[in-house]
Chains A and B, each alone.
Chain A
Amino acid sequence: MFRYRKTTLVIEILMILAALVMLLPFWIMLVAAFKPGEDILTTPAIAPPKHPTLTNFTALMSDQTGQGSIFQALASSVAITVGSILGLVVLGSLAAYVFARSTQRWSTRAYYSFVVAIILPTQLGTLPLYIGAQRLGLVGTPWGMLLIYTGVLLPLSVFLYAGFFRALPRDYEEAASLDGASALQVFRHVVFPLMAPATGTVAILAGLIVWNDFFTALIFLNGSSYQTLPVMMYNFVGALVSQWNLIFAVVIVSMIPILIFYVFAQKRFIQGYAGGLKS
């Protein structure tokens, strides 16, 4: 039935073309980043560089624009993303475990408060959060970002974990309890390791959201020494105006970490999205 036919070949060719068109912007960026500035507007945008050069990348290292170093932004992004993921995994799995195992009414209600929070738009809360963080002196610090990202993404984490915990038979815990292990020991050494797929999904979904977030980081971190990559990039581009060769060098450097992840774990990424949505 689903054999490879002539029409299939046509579809295959069409899809390859479509994918190429979709990837064209990346190609344009890539070649521009290796062109000297004067070639950007004089040579066709899709033509490979005639005089390939690395100066655009070396220029980044020397921080000519006064925007702070790209490595600092990279470190900031990594720290905030990793910290948020840790918070989401620890707090989220603990809460979800309690919700999944307790039959008491409050726990069901608390669980529903997380589910409802998933649907609640966060836009409106950003302004009071900003004022609160300002009063506490958390604006312009990575700590404020950690708290906010963790708090706002906890519903996602709790929801994903709760689904997995429910599917986990209680036999594991019962066996371990009989051996005299405390609740925390059971959780740490028996239950949590079994949750690796859930942890992976939480880390990928939440990690991507935090890593790519621009709005919150712009409001809370702009101009501080903890600017994340998207914010630094935004300022960089403003300072470089139309020096596209330099701009694209920045953009490429900012994309490399996530693309490396993607290449090695693309299946997990795609499943994370599709699976996270469906679980």
Chain B
Amino acid sequence: MTNHNRARRRLATVAIPMAAGLLLAACGGDSGGSSNNGQEPQTISFAFGSANPNEHYFQDAAKGYEKAHPGVKINIQKLPAESYATAIATRVQGGNAPDVFQAESGSGQTDAVGNFAKGGLLIQISDPAVRAALPKGEDPSQFLYNDKVVGIPIATAVNGIVFNDELAKQNGVNVTATSTLDDVINQCAAAKAKGKAIFGLAGAIPANTGIATMEFAASTVYGPTPDWDAQRKAGKVTFAGTPGWTAALESLKRLNDSKCFQPGAVGAGFDALTNGAGQGKIFGFFAPSGAAKSIMDGAGGHVKLVVLPMPAPAGTKTYASVSSDIVVAGSAKTKSPKLVEDFMKYFQTPEGTKIVADAQGTIPVNAAENATLLPQYATVEQTIKNKDVRGFGTVNWPNGKVYDALGSGATGVLTGQKTPEEVLKQMDAAWG
């Protein structure tokens, strides 16, 4: 037993300095995030993700704000879209957040404001005017935490197909807002024969396979059951038990099996979409409609893209997925809380809204009913007017894991690693 005692004593001698270190660590915890009113630094950092070097709407907004507020400097941090969610989540949770950053509304993605706000990591805006200016007709809770605004949406976008209609027609392919999935699939072989693909897919990026599946789900799940998420939350339904989800994944697989995607689609990254669309190798891809503008700009104006809803499988009515899920959020740890709040509010001002909508090619938040949309939306205008729209489901999901499981699972369905049922069960498990 002496051995034992000796060991214990030895442990004690090592443990004392360590415990001191821990105490030190614990004490440091509360000191962050203090504000020195009035005299706060006028330089803030602003981080966002980008899949396309030609995108510049966030830069434009920052420049616009700097111009209107002399003396303010906004340091831009443009991060790769492929790993943006993980990178920003690590930084925000590590206490190393940029002052202002792009995030997702709700709680269903890794970089969603709901998850950050829970840890007290976000600036909370109590100004009622900010709350009043949130998108009407969308669930406000996705932008709120404790009834205060934590994320301000930058625009409203259609989550659909960014499509090069002209090029498609030149190659004898015709896809419209009223096309069904079978209409599209029937044309895939013809396009492939000409060395083109109707759609591009970034199969290696869960966010891309994820959005594609969600776009199908807008019709197959949320079309007939708009409150599906609420029912899931209440435990009344499951992913695996809802045929609409199986149909969504199977629809994606059918597109892949029918060679509607470019060669190497399963392993492709975002570059395959931007390059492919720019070079005319693919006619369309699945993305928020804001992606259209930067590609048109990047191609020097000789590419015209339109926005289409995802064609629903036979027997299902097509709904477009419309959402304002991209938001800006502010770090609670910022040294310039007032400036950060003011910059966030800028995205609600007429100037800020216009700068983003123009540069991104999206719909300004709360655009008037009769407002003229950008030409690329002509194809979906009727769908929107008919109110055949649904939101982007993930915002109501409880964590980022469910959507990741969908995105990475969808890739698995395409490679044959997984069946739709396995993926949906995995999502149910991730729901927790």
Contacts and interface: CB of A to CB of B under 8 A. Distances in A.
**A/B contact in complex, CB under 8 angstroms:** yes
B98 A241 contact: no
B87 A223 contact: yes
Q: Max chain B CB contacts within 10 Å: which of A135, A139, A237?
A: A135
Interface in A62-96: 64-67
Contact of A239 (B25, B31, B79): B79
A223 B98 contact: yes
A169 to B, nearest CB: 31
Interface string B48-83: 001101000000000000000000000011111011
A238 interface: yes
A238 B94 contact: no
Interface string A36-76: 00000000000000000000000000001111000000000
Interface string A116-136: 000000000000001110111
B263 interface: no
Contacts of A216: none
B25 A135 contact: yes
B79 A241 contact: no
A222 B82 contact: no
Nearest to B21: A132
Contacts of B32: 137
Contacts of B26: 135
Interface in B1-47: 10, 14, 21-22, 24-26, 28-29, 31-32, 47
Contacts of A67: 78
A142 to B, nearest CB: 13
Contacts of B10: 109
Nearest to B88: A223
Given A64-B53, A241-B270, A223 B28 contact: no
B269 interface: yes
B275 interface: yes
Nearest to A134: B95
A223 B91 contact: yes
Nearest to A234: B83
A219 interface: yes
Contacts of B95: 134, 137, 139-140
Nearest to B27: A135
Contacts of A135: 25-26, 28-29
A239 B21 CA distance: 39
Chain B interface: which size bin? 35 or more
A235 interface: yes
Interface in A131-166: 131-132, 134-137, 139-140
Contacts of A66: 76-79
B94 A139 contact: yes
Contacts of B50: 239
Interface in A227-275: 235, 237-239, 241-243
Contacts of B83: 235, 238
Q: Max chain A CB contacts within 10 Å: which of B80, B88, B98, B274?
A: B80
A67 B75 CA distance: 12
B186 interface: no
A90 B14 CA distance: 21
B22 A241 contact: no
Nearest to B76: A66
A139 B80 CA distance: 21
B96 A139 contact: yes
A137 B53 CA distance: 33
Contact of B28 (A136, A239, A242): A136
B44 to A, nearest CB: 14
Q: Max chain B CB contacts within 10 Å: which of A65, A66, A139, A219?
A: A66
Contacts of B28: 135-137
Nearest 5 Cβ contacts at the A-B interface: A238-B80, A66-B78, A241-B271, A140-B96, A132-B25
Interface of A: 64-67, 109, 113, 130-132, 134-137, 139-140, 219-220, 222-224, 235, 237-239, 241-243
Given A130-B94, A242-B272, 16 more contacts: A66-B78, A113-B14, A132-B22, A134-B94, A134-B95, A136-B25, A139-B95, A140-B96, A219-B94, A220-B94, A223-B96, A224-B96, A239-B50, A239-B80, A241-B269, A242-B269
